[in-house]
Chain A
Amino acid sequence: MTAVQTERSTALDVRGLRVEFDGGDAGPLVAVRDVSLDVGAGRLLGLVGESGCGKSTTLLAMVGLLSGAATISGAVRLAGQELFTADQQALRRARGVGIALVLQASMSTLNPVRKIAAQITEPLVYHGLLGPAAARERARELLALMRLPAHVGEAFPHELSGGMRQRASIAVALAPDPKVLLLDEPTTALDVIAQARVLELIRTVAREREIAVVLVTHDLPLVAHYCDEVAVMYGGEVVERRPTTRWDEEPWHPYTRMLLASTPDLLDAELPATIPGTPPRLDQLPAGCPFVDRCDRALTECATVRPALDPVGPEHRVACHVVRDDGGER
């Protein structure tokens, strides 16, 4: 922890999160291998990675919403309070009230047979936070906050556009005033304009209400623009963590470098490079660095020794032997 970090209150603190799935004969499949994150109140952390790197599983594991085939270990602290205790009811009580999760907005993330306003007031009434009249008032406020026209409250999910549904989902999540907001690919299904609107809103609300936000996405440039920090995941681990204010600061984890290089630049006529190879299978994770098979700078020790997430600059950590050996130089 750096000095800057300890000044702000750490709303969300995840240590050593590990998720294993029961793979039957194949043995346990490790989807998340030792992930640690911390996010301060009012700050946005972007969690980036390819499909299958474990980022969505990480979010679900934090609130304990995985299937019976999963084993979750580690520690998740919400404003100092331990969630993974022997009392699983504490975890359920924290869900939605302390830590809210917003899924990717498809046609079926909102209950199709209920009006939007009713879905916003539902958690408030269920958890006994507000009476019905006050809850309806809060619903109106939240819809306005999300820049949704008032009639949306009386509409059904199928009557709204994708962007409006996503904003409505966020309004529902924000109703009980959570301290932490987790968003899984909130903008992947949206057009560019809607994306910008949604992310802008999320950032404004997070700052105003001092909510810690974790945003899972595969869109690195988006994170660079809207988030305060970025954590890059690969093969179930966090391989790099840096503040977006120091976006250009060296060194880069080889995977992050390749990710950036593969992002299409609209102003550049050349086609971007792709990263050769495929992400590792959950039951075939290498003993050393998970990126070793696709890395163009792998050393011999990369295959056998797992690199630790070491600091290479202020608030900047990278898990890579090559970078460490280079002494932080290119």
Chain B
Amino acid sequence: MSRLARLHRGGLLGGAIVATFAAVAVLAPVIAPYGVDQSFSQIFGHPSLAHPFGLDDSTHDVLTRVMWGGRTSLSIGLAATAIAVLLGTTVGVLAGYSRGLVDHALMRITDYVLVLPSIPLVIVVIATWGPSVSHLAIVIGLLLWTTTARLVRAQVKSMRELVYVRRAVSLGASDARIVTRYILPQVTPLVLASAVLTLAHAIFVEAALAFLGLGDPGSVSWGTMIEAAFQRTAVSAGAWWTIVAPGTCIAVFILACSLLSRASEEALNPRLRVAYLSARGPRIVPR
């Protein structure tokens, strides 16, 4: 199958998976088989027909908790992504459009943010500020804006030199008008593609923070489920389902985001890939 068709298929698969997770997250209150904190008979009950993902150490149904957990993880992820993308786009547009000193200053700031050990910093901030869902969303968003900023800046810079933009400038169009009418529409697809990847990162960071005990104690998320399982000796109890269920959700979701982002990147920047060296050479038929 041609590479393009494969990417296309990958993108569709990724999109379908993301949509499914989103749907389950939204509908969790309705479609979850049991209550989140509903108790059953057995600590670390094995997966069965009644409980396909088994029971955790507090005898709660893991499948239900995974559905509700998706709700929390995805909300934090989406909120963080929204913050990151808004901030990143603003900085990127400002830097790319204004050139000179403003651009330089903004890029220096971006560089410094990248260099600081961000994850430890995030850890410290959440530890002191308090691990609530909103705090997590804000801090993660502030962590991840730089990628979008760089991408947007590069795009805006190249757009600024385009003929129709320069023409608008010479006709006296205000900066605001140029940005809103010409630049933003072109930049939006790129931003969307970047947002998908940022969402994957946000989910990852949320799970990491939760694992270090910094998740929101009041709610269930995929990250806190893994942390709880780890803390409560699921491994030695052999209750692998309490770890595999939430962990697989995270991994599959991040994978789906990767597939989507790769496909959309190819759609935006199709690369004509010639290969001057490949394992198979031409067939030579001697006379």
Contacts and interface: CB of A to CB of B under 8 A. Distances in A.
Direct contact of A and B (CB under 8 A): yes
Contact of B284 (A15, A16, A84): A84
B280 A72 contact: no
A69 B283 CA distance: 8
B282 A71 contact: yes
A94 to B, nearest CB: 13
Q: How large is the interface on A (under 10, 10 to 19, 20 to 34, 35 or more residues)?
A: 20 to 34
Which interface residue of A15, A67, A84, A91 has the most chain B CB atoms within 10 A? A67
A84 B287 contact: yes
Contact of A86 (B275, B278, B283, B286): B286
Interface string A60-87: 0100111111111111000000101110
A64 B287 contact: no
B283 A71 contact: yes
B282 A70 contact: yes
A88 interface: yes
A20 to B, nearest CB: 9
Nearest to B280: A68
Q: How large is the interface on B (under 10, 10 to 19, 20 to 34, 35 or more residues)?
A: 10 to 19
A74 B287 contact: yes
A28 to B, nearest CB: 12
Dominant SS at the B interface? loop
A84 B280 contact: no
A68 B285 contact: no
B275 A67 contact: yes
Nearest to B274: A67
A68 B282 contact: yes
B282 A85 contact: no
Contacts of A88: 281, 284
Contacts of B275: 67
Interface in B191-235: none
A65 B279 CA distance: 12
A15 B287 contact: yes
Contact of A73 (B278, B279, B285): B285
Contacts of A82: 286
Contacts of B282: 61, 64-72
B285 A72 contact: yes
Contacts of A72: 282-285
Given A67-B275, A67-B278, A68-B280, A75 B285 contact: no
A17 B282 CA distance: 14
Contacts of A66: 281-282
B284 A91 contact: yes
Contacts of B283: 70-72
A75 B286 contact: yes
Nearest to B286: A84
A67 B278 CA distance: 8
Contacts of A84: 284-287
A322 to B, nearest CB: 31
A27 B274 CA distance: 21
Interface string A235-274: 0000000000000000000000000000000000000000
Contacts of A61: 282
Nearest to A69: B282
B5 to A, nearest CB: 12
Interface string B260-287: 0000000000000001001111111111
Which interface residue of B275, B280, B287 has the most chain A CB atoms within 10 A? B287
A84 B286 CA distance: 5
Nearest to B2: A24
A84 B281 CA distance: 14
A91 to B, nearest CB: 7
Contacts of A86: 286
Contacts of B285: 71-73, 84
A238 B278 CA distance: 30
A209 to B, nearest CB: 28
Which interface residue of B275, B280, B282, B286 has the most chain A CB atoms within 10 A? B282
A23 to B, nearest CB: 13
Contacts of A64: 281-282, 284
A71 B287 CA distance: 13
A321 B60 CA distance: 90
Contacts of A75: 286-287
A15 B286 CA distance: 11
A64 B280 CA distance: 12
Contact of A85 (B279, B280, B286): B286
A68 B284 CA distance: 10
Nearest to A21: B282
A71 B283 CA distance: 5
Interface string B109-126: 000000000000000000
Contacts of A69: 282
Interface in A26-82: 61, 64-75, 82
B244 to A, nearest CB: 42
A67 B281 CA distance: 6
Contacts of B280: 67-68
24 contacts: A16-B287, A61-B282, A64-B284, A66-B282, A67-B275, A67-B278, A67-B280, A67-B281, A67-B282, A68-B282, A69-B282, A70-B282, A71-B285, A72-B283, A72-B284, A72-B285, A73-B285, A73-B286, A73-B287, A74-B287, A75-B287, A84-B284, A84-B287, A88-B281
Given A64-B282, A68-B279, A72-B284, 5 more contacts: A16-B287, A65-B282, A68-B278, A71-B282, A73-B284
The 5 closest A-B pairs by CB, nearest first: A68-B280, A73-B285, A70-B282, A66-B282, A84-B286
Interface of A: 15-16, 61, 64-75, 82, 84-86, 88, 91
